[in-house]
Each structure stands twice: as structure tokens, then as C-alpha cells.
Amino acid sequence: MDPSSLAPFYQDWRFWSFLVSGIAVVLSQLPPIRILIKPLKLDVEVNSRVNVTHKIGNPNFGMHVSLGNSGGRNLRIKGLRVNLQKEGKDLVSLPAQNYFESPTDKSSVLFVPFTLKPDEYWSHGVNFLNFFDRTTEKKYRENETSLRLDIQKKLRNRPEDEKDAVKGDEELIKPFIDLMDKLFIWEPGEYIFELEVDSSPSSSAFRKKYRFTLYESDTRELKEHTEVYPFGGGILYNVESHVGLYVPITEHFG
């Protein structure tokens, strides 16, 4: 057969049928066009109350945060942070360290970076805090051990009919009181905090400011944690009342 007499390939219906089928297979593996063209958008919501407390003066800040990806591409959530101010002065910057997987959980899990797919949400109670530096942590553990041994010794040596709580020696409590005085920040006044969500792409990052007020009674309640330090409360074991305060917040537009 003379090759010049063959019809061009683009006139062969079988070629077009194969091409269309191939394109359909490729498109079936891709997200719908309506999703691909959606702009990047990270939706952030917070609860109307935050938790304010401390660990031997070291400030702890808790908040329920909801993150949603309403855009068309994956978003990588690299970290959350709360930046605290009072009377125009920077106080402390607290990174998200752990969170509760469900509202009924008593123990938290480590916060690590994660990815939000389109239309996916992440909503949890988050703890923001700075851990002690290595030097402070080492000294804290040494003082904790000394207090524990002292209380255990006194418990072993007390009369069998003695049921009163045992106190540690004053010199063993003093390092914790000193640490409390050094680190405590929750004085009366108005506080402004910025919630910062570090994400990738960076164009989806989020920053927003809120405010709350602490009164003298709030500060007094938080400082009263020291009253059980001599017994090891809040040091050797957790105290339920040390959960802290739940204070209302409002958006700050300044």
C-alpha cells in the first residue's frame, strides 16, 4: 500500500478516542478545578475564654483554638504562639507545647507540626508555655528531691496516731518561693495578647490581637498557690485548684 494514500492520524477516530480516555484518567487523579483555583485561606477561631495559671510562677496560658483550611491547597501548620503585653510592654512569648485531643482528656499530648488538607479542621485546647531553661530545671529537680526526702522522712518518723499534714523545712521551701517571685507575671491590669499561627505557605500565616483583664482578686488567688508549697502541693503533686482562672477575652483593635 502506498503510504501517501494513508489518512493522517488526526483523522482517525480511534486516536481521538484514546486521547480523550487518557485525559480523563489524568484528570480523575487531580482535585476538581473548583478546589485548585480556590485562594489560600486559613480560618482561625478561638474560644471566648482563656486559662491563666502558672507553675511555681512560670506563666502558663491555655486556649481552645480551631484551625480550618478553606483554601484549595494543603497548609502546613508549623507552630502556634501567644505574645503577651501589658501596659505597652512585651512580657513573654509562649509557644504551643501540648494540646488535649478531646475536651475530657486529663493529660495532654505533644504539639508537633501538622498538615491541613482542603476543607479539613483541627480544633483542640492548647497549652502555651516556656519550659524552664536547663540550669533552672536542674536546680528545680534538686530542690524537689530534697523536699520529697524531707517530707518522706518526717512521715516515717511521726507517731502512728498523728494525722496532720507534714511540712517540709523552711529552707527547703524558700527556693520555690524565690522562683515564684522571680517568674510570676499575673499582676492586676489589662493584658493584650497576639495569637500567631506560623504556616506554610507563609502567605497563609495568621496574627490577631485580643485582650483580657486581671483583677486584684485574680492575682491574689494565683499567688495563694504558695500556701500549699510547704506540704509539697503544686511541687511534688498536682493540686486541683491550681488549674487557674478562666477569663473572658475580647478582640483588640488597637
CATH number at residue 60: 2.60.40.10
Give the whole-angstrom CA distance, residue 201 versus residue 181: 41
In this predicted structure, the answer to whether residue 12 has a pLDDT above a threshold of 70 is no
The answer on 83 and 48 residing in a single domain is yes
Residue 49: exposure state from Cβ atoms within 10 A (0-12, 13-18, ≥19): middle
Question: Same domain, yes or no, for 64 and 120?
Answer: yes
pLDDT (0 to 100) of residue 26? 56
Q: Is residue 144 part of a domain?
A: no
142 lies in some domain: no
* Better pLDDT: 207 or 30: 207
Whether residues 47 and 110 fall in one domain = yes
Residue 243: pLDDT over 60: yes
Residues 28 and 129 in one domain: no
In sequence order, what DSSP letters do the residues of 168-222 get, joined into one string?
PPHHHHHHHHHHHHHH----SEEEEEEEEEEEESGGG-EEEEEEEEE-HHHHHHH
On whether the CB atoms of residues 42 and 67 are closer than 8 A, the answer is yes
Which amino acid is it at 24? A
pLDDT for position 29: 59
113 upstream amide cis, omega within 30 of 0: no
Sign, CA dihedral 6-9-12-18, equals positive
More confident residue, 162 or 44: 44
Question: pLDDT (tens digit, 9 = 90+) per residue, 172-181?
Answer: 999 999 999 9
Q: Are residues 63 and 111 in the same domain?
A: yes
pLDDT of residue 160 exceeding 90? no
Mean model confidence pLDDT for the chain: 89
> Is the pLDDT score of 132 beyond 90?
yes
d(CA 78, CA 146) in angstroms, rounded, equals 39
Q: Is residue 27 part of a domain?
A: yes
The answer to whether position 190 is within a domain reads yes
- pLDDT interval class at 25 (50, 70, 90): low
Percent of the chain exceeding pLDDT 90 equals 73
Residues 126 and 232 in one domain: yes
Residue 32 within any structural domain of the chain = yes
Among 79, 81, 77, CA closest to 116: 77
Is position 143 within any domain? Answer: no
Integer Cα distance of 194 and 228 in angstroms: 33
Q: Is residue 146 part of a domain?
A: no
State mean pLDDT over 44-53.
97
Q: Do 75 and 116 contact (CB within 8 A), yes or no? A: yes
Residues 22 and 50 in one domain: no
Q: Average of pLDDT values for 159-187?
A: 93
Same domain, 221 and 119: yes
Strand partners, 198: 79
> Is 188 a member of any domain?
yes
If one counts the domains in the chain, the total is 2
Query: Is residue 97 located within the same domain as residue 28?
Result: no
Q: Which domain holds residue 14?
A: 3-36
Q: Indicate whether 17 and 114 sit together in one domain.
A: no
Q: What pLDDT is recorded for position 13? A: 59
Higher pLDDT, 113 or 87: 113
Q: Are strands 58-69 and 109-110 parallel, antiparallel or unpaired?
A: unpaired
| 111 and 217 share one domain | yes
Alpha-carbon gap, residue 239 to 245, rounded angstroms: 14
Q: Is the pLDDT of residue 10 over 60?
A: no
| pLDDT, tens only, 56-71 | 999 999 999 999 999 8
> Among the listed ranges 114-123, 140-149, 160-169, 190-199, which one has the minimum average pLDDT value?
160-169
Query: Same domain, yes or no, for 173 and 221?
Result: yes
Q: What DSSP character marks residue 7?
A: P
Query: What is the Cα–Cα distance from 170 to 237, expressed in whole angstroms?
Result: 18
pLDDT at 14: 65
